[in-house]
Structure 1
Amino acid sequence: MTEKSDEIKERIAKLKEDGKLSAEAEALLDELSLQFAEMERSNRALRKAVLKAAGGQAMSSRLRDALYE
């Protein structure tokens, strides 16, 4: 998991510990957390596929900037 997702999970856990969430809110946050993790996984897979389709070489930022000018 990324640092951001770990931070979000910690914040959710703290809210649960403090009893500041209703049962419905907890269920919703758990569902959103799972969807967030799936989107991160999907994003990594798509990035790998794009790099593979590009021949495994990423365009340098300098070249990309020159092409977009």
Structure 2
Amino acid sequence: MTDKMEDYKEKIAALQEKGELTAETLSLLMEMLDEMAEMNRSNKALRRVILKGQSSSMSTRLRDALYE
């Protein structure tokens, strides 16, 4: 996932250099990239919990997140 995010950042930078992005668009894209990074981190943490075999005693919040 990080390779894709780096590709997105490069594409955004290229568009910004060409002057094809407004400040609002750039702000939105950066916010979306930050959200993707947080989701990626969260997914990795959830996978670690599952791999540790703690799924039988998982919390309601974790179970709900996994079923989404």
- Give the TM-score normalised by structure 1: 0.71
Kindly state the Cα deviation for residue 54 of structure 1 after the two structures are TM-superposed.
Answer: 5.6
Instruction: Classify the secondary structure of the residue corresponding to 1:48.
Output: helix
Instruction: Classify the secondary structure of the residue corresponding to 1:20.
Output: coil
Greater per-residue helix proportion: 2
The whole-number CA distance in structure 2 between the counterparts of 1:18 and 1:49 is 44
Kindly state the Cα deviation for residue 3 of structure 1 after the two structures are TM-superposed.
Answer: 1.0
Q: Aligned-pair RMSD on alpha carbons?
A: 1.7
Q: How does 1:40-59 map to 2 (within 5 A)?
A: 40-53=40-53
Please list every run of 5 or more consecutive structure 2 residues that lacks an aligned counterpart in the other structure: 56-68
Kindly state the Cα deviation for residue 2 of structure 1 after the two structures are TM-superposed.
Answer: 1.6
Structure 1, residues 28-53: CA drift from partner, whole Å, max 9, x if none? 00100100111111111111011012
Q: Percent identity?
A: 49
What stretches of structure 1 move > 2 A for 4+ residues in a row?
Answer: none
- Give the TM-score normalised by structure 2: 0.72
Residue matched to 1:24: 24
The whole-number CA distance in structure 2 between the counterparts of 1:6 and 1:46 is 23
Structure 1, residues 12-65: CA drift from partner, whole Å, max 9, x if none? 11111111001110110010010011111111111101101269xxxxxxxxxx
What is the one-letter code of the residue matched to 1:51? L
When Rg is computed on C-alpha atoms for both structures, the one with the higher figure is: 1
